[in-house]
Amino acid sequence: MLLRSNAARSTARLLHPPPRLLSTATATSRAPPLRVTTLDNGVRVASDPTPGHFVAAGVYVDAGSRYESPSTTGAAHMTDRLAFKSTANRTADQMTTEIEQLGGQFISSSSRETILYQATTYSQSLPAVLSILSDTVLHPNIEQEELDIQREAALWEVGEIKTKPEMILPELLHETAFKNNTLGNPLLCPEDRLETMTPETLREFRRRWYRPDRLVVAAAGIEHDQLVDLANRYFGAVNPAVTATTASSTTTTTSPSPSPSPSATVASSSSPSSPPASSAPFSTLTSKLASVVSGGGSSTPSEEEEAAESYEYLANAPARYTGGTLLLDNPDLEFTHIYVGYEGLSIHDPDIYALATLQVLLGGGGSFSAGGPGKGMYSRLYTSVLNQYYAVDFCSAFHHCYLDSGLFGISISVEPSFLYRTPELLAQQFDAVTRPMKNGVTELELRRARNQLKSSLAMALESRMVQVEDLGRQVQVHGRKVSMPEMASLIDRVTLTDLFRVANRVLRPSTSPILSDRKRNGLPTVVAQGKLRGLPDITDALRRRGLAGAE
């Protein structure tokens, strides 16, 4: 039995999101039809009946750090840490004892757009598993003593993560790229907030976001009707939210919809049942906030704060990419670690497949990787950087996609003696994927990247836990799950022309024929930690190749 509730695991995903975060399918070539049922109170129930000895179940909440307000900063992290503790129906000891008796694996995890609770067990134990999941999701006690214990554990956890550049820098990259808004909200509870966090803060966070219309109950390895009966038993009594759909409906997906897009977790993520960003309440609230900021109108600071704390505003606030630079001098580090990122694409963008393929094509890893063919050793960052410069310890592409934005870029760790070469080297790698050139991207590289992406997605879905998370997140984001053949077909359609076009959409948005792209600032986000003396201006190196936004 493994019981985990660890936001550090979510933070670690930020560095190199596993391929499963892009997955939208089962691993079989002929997936059974997906059925999604909406209960009377708005809870969505999704099943994948693929048989097996084990069943996996999960509850997925449209919550996470992007939805936090100033008064609830860090609540998602601490809510995650308090999973599987005492509830209205079980003491903490009873919870632990029942989980140990069931065996399997129970985990919770918080990310920017989702809080999830998952378990795997033998098929006959599914009712007991859903009972535990519903209890910890719907009826936690959140006792002061439990919070105090987790507060101390979180302080240690945050302190440890801060000492590991590979874990903290992806977090700082988000905070710099989306400064003071949504995706830039800290994933880990800030230490000053840990000191002041109260049970009532967490209860208020839960009251706002743990609504039936923001919950998905999913399971893999079970018949749909059986899952619906269990979901009704354990989740059907929750009072519906005011805006929740009250009519119960069932749909069966038997054929692909046009232009599907892969999910994110990590990234990353949320409910199609939420009002659209252009809804009237949100427009009114943003107008009021803009009026206060500009000095117009009669709104008072208290009205502004009240609007910024409202559910309507927080649920629909768009991610605003700012870009920026954060330099952290730390001479004690052996290597200097640098991240350069650009605003990526939304999870719903049809070009998300091409961008995912571009990440695999760039690839990369560590200089002492034990990998080989099929493990990225022939990717561009290996052949053009790691195999060419002994002073580079690590170099890899990263890609995070979210509901309405994303981050795409390259991270590199080098010996301080190589700093003078690093900015130009990074600029070269970005430029090389934007157009045909000598020693540029070839059809062979593209074909290898497409095949590697497809195989990694299919193999990841061999895991029951991955399978059910993929299902739950897909239903959250798209309302359905895309089959592996469908996704593979979309990946196979990516051409070199597509690759260059999408690279320019991200790296040089002012040149894009798409109006919404041209509205982006195109600025890079640069985060560096280590010995910084002798490091040239990275943005200047990017600007010389037209990779620093419109002047």
> Considering 181, 206, 231, which residue would you say is the last residue of a domain?
206
196 and 343 part of one domain: no
pLDDT of residue 275: 32
Least confident of 15-24, 32-41, 367-376, 382-391: 15-24
d(CA 51, CA 17): 28
Tell whether 503 is covered by a domain.
Answer: yes
505 and 535 part of one domain: yes
309 and 328 part of one domain: no
383 and 520 part of one domain: yes
173 and 302 part of one domain: no
| HEC per residue, 286-315 | HHHHHHHHHCCCCCCHHHHHHHHCCHHHHH
Tell whether 271 is covered by a domain.
Answer: no
pLDDT of residue 240: 86
**DSSP 8-state secondary structure symbol assigned to residue 246:** -
The 10s digit of each residue's pLDDT in 403-425 is 999 999 999 999 999 999 999 99
CA 495 to chain centre: 26
Tell whether 35 is covered by a domain.
Answer: no
Least confident of 20-29, 131-140, 465-474: 20-29
Residue closest to 230 by CA, chosen among 141, 115, 140, 133: 133
pLDDT of residue 371: 52
The 10s digit of each residue's pLDDT in 55-93 is 999 999 999 999 999 999 999 999 999 999 999 999 999
Q: Specify the amino acid at residue 158.
A: V
162 and 298 part of one domain: no
- Comparing 205 with 239, the larger pLDDT belongs to 205
The 10s digit of each residue's pLDDT in 38-48 is 999 999 999 99
> Considering 206, 225, 259, which residue would you say is the last residue of a domain?
206
> Considering 157, 185, 206, which residue would you say is the last residue of a domain?
206
Tell whether 266 is covered by a domain.
Answer: no
Q: What is the dihedral of CA 541, 546, 549, 551, to 10 degrees?
A: 100
Tell whether 475 is covered by a domain.
Answer: yes
Instruction: Report the interhelical angle of 496-507 vs 352-362 (nearest 10°).
Output: 90
74 and 133 part of one domain: yes
- Comparing 30 with 314, the larger pLDDT belongs to 314
Mean pLDDT estimate for the chain: 85
What integer is the mean pLDDT of 308-312?
Answer: 88
Q: Are 450 and 15 in contact (CB under 8 A)?
A: no
Q: Are 395 and 413 in contact (CB under 8 A)?
A: yes
Tell whether 379 is covered by a domain.
Answer: yes
pLDDT of residue 268: 37
293 and 335 part of one domain: no
Q: What is the dihedral of CA 91, 61, 305, 182, to 10 degrees?
A: 130
Q: What are phi and psi of 318, to 5 degrees?
A: -75, 150
Q: What are phi and psi of 164, to 5 degrees?
A: -115, 100
What integer is the mean pLDDT of 155-177?
Answer: 97
307 and 391 part of one domain: no
Position 265 pLDDT exceeds 70: no
pLDDT band at 272 (very low <50, low <70, confident <90, very high): very low
What integer is the mean pLDDT of 157-181?
Answer: 97
Global pTM reads: 0.85
Position 428 pLDDT exceeds 50: yes
Position 7 pLDDT exceeds 50: no
Position 33 pLDDT exceeds 80: no
201 and 113 part of one domain: yes
359 and 298 part of one domain: no
Strands 215-220 and 44-48, how do they pair?
parallel
Least confident of 198-202, 463-467, 500-504: 463-467
Total number of domains constituting the chain: 3
Tell whether 165 is covered by a domain.
Answer: yes
Strands 525-530 and 336-343, how do they pair?
antiparallel
Q: Specify the amino acid at residue 396.
A: S
d(CA 548, CA 540): 8
Position 509 pLDDT exceeds 70: yes
Range of the domain at 306: 280-316
Position 285 pLDDT exceeds 50: no
d(CA 133, CA 114): 16
Residue with tokens 């449209």: 62
Tell whether 274 is covered by a domain.
Answer: no
CATH number at 469 reads 3.30.830.10
Position 250 pLDDT exceeds 70: no
401 and 289 part of one domain: no
* pLDDT above 90: percentage of residues in the chain: 74
Position 369 pLDDT exceeds 90: no
pLDDT band at 30 (very low <50, low <70, confident <90, very high): low
